[in-house]
Amino acid sequence: MKTVILVDGLWEGHHSTHLKAIAKTLLALNCQILVCCPKPNELSNWLSSHAENQENILGSVEFHEPEKSSFPFRKIRQSLNAVNLWKTTTLVVQEILEKLGKTPDLLFFPWLDSYLEGCLTHHIVDQIFPYPWSGVYHQAHHIRAKSKLSFIYYGPLDPQAILWSSHCPVVSVIDRGIAGKLRDRLNSKPVVAFPDIADTSLPDTNFPLLNKIKQQAKGRRIVGLLGSQAKRKGLLTLLRAAQLMSHSGYFFVFAGVFAKDSFSIEELSEIEKVIESNPEHCFFYFEEIPGEAQFNALVDLCSLLFVVYENYPFISNILMKAAVFEKGVIASETFYIGEITQKFNLGLTVPERNVEKCVEALKDWDQVSNSTIEQYKQGCKAYRDWNSEERLHTTLEEVLSYV
């Protein structure tokens, strides 16, 4: 029986979703676990009603990522943050081990990215953190996105330099398209493709926002841009496309926190003018969506989900939610989002920032045949299977085989 300590100092969004699913699966694999996270009581309550082998839960400890540095230079600031995080984690683990009385087989970081920031090497980290560790690398942008400065990614500037550590026997990545490349860079160290875990809570059908949207939509097909309303999420593209489709039979919903700082003054002025004009075919809710059940209720209400992100070389959890609730997507044609959408036939892809192509795609979706819809549903099922609990089980089993 292996003993695994799970550590994530963040909780919001996918952090709690991933941590719960991984903890549950490790228990199913008959591992002993101890969890360090910001809300240990909430996690314990969730596991008590969702997990088996609860006698293998050794405990849970409150843990937060330390306060960020304010150093002006980004790379140095990131390095200071990473060093501080490794040191803070070491202190917490040392306290746990004194009480536990034994060394864990593995410390697993569901969000490894915070530990890899800055200009650190494995030599530095090995001095700070002498325990066996692994984790899930979510945003390896330097591998997926081409950069004119890629030639400088060597030594301390190599974003995955820490992964050379002999204390790290295996690495997991969300982006399956880069697994082979990362494995080559790490001189054939095992790199495991990790499923994209989504919270599939039943939709909160009593969420008050639903009735407001339904009343205004008046039976029209709903296109949703859900979550952070930031420039990189394609808000401007969808907003401009919506202005060209006021009589199209579509109704456009923008729901989530408005990321004001991501827009220029001119762009903010454009957005404000559209909102002030109170377009009858648009709905704006620039506030936080309370929870996953409410988020899923909005997903379920939509006919199409907008995922035309700008310069975004990572996966979006929206694709998994779209597959779960069998909603079509209009997605960016580039990077991993485009690859997944096309591979599984989850919807249509368009160039980012291209308003005309977005309008064309919406019109094309309106004309899809029954056979195309059936193919799309088959794609949704295939993508759900690709990211299922069963796949998470086999993936963690593979990770543990290297320990």
Domain definitions of the chain by residue range = 3-197+389-401, 208-386
For the chain, what percent of residues have pLDDT higher than 70? 96
Q: Is a pLDDT exceeding 80 seen at residue 279? A: yes
Report pTM.
Answer: 0.92
Mean pLDDT score across all residues of the chain:
93
Per-residue model confidence as pLDDT tens digits over 63-87:
999 999 888 888 889 889 999 999 9
Give 368-393 pLDDT, tens digit per residue. 767 788 889 999 999 999 999 999 99
Assigned token pair, 22:
């991984």
Collapsed DSSP state (helix, strand, coil) of residue 293? helix
Task: Quote the pLDDT of residue 33.
Answer: 98
Could you report the per-residue pLDDT of 166-201, keeping only the tens digit for each? Answer: 999 999 999 998 999 999 999 999 999 999 999 999
pLDDT level of residue 112 (50, 70, 90 thresholds): very high
Q: Is the pLDDT of residue 128 over 90?
A: yes
Q: Report the C-alpha gap between 301 and 317 in whole angstroms.
A: 17
**3-197+389-401 and 208-386 have identical folds:** yes
Residue 151 is predicted with a pLDDT of 45
Q: What pLDDT does residue 152 have?
A: 47
CATH number of 208-386: 3.40.50.2000
Percent of the chain with pLDDT over 90: 83
Residues 382/376, Cβ–Cβ less than 8 Å: no
360 or 147, which is more confident: 360
CATH superfamily of the domain spanning 3-197+389-401: Glycogen Phosphorylase B; (3.40.50.2000)
- Beta strands at 191-193 and 221-226: parallel, antiparallel or unpaired: unpaired
Q: In this predicted structure, what is the pLDDT of residue 148?
A: 53
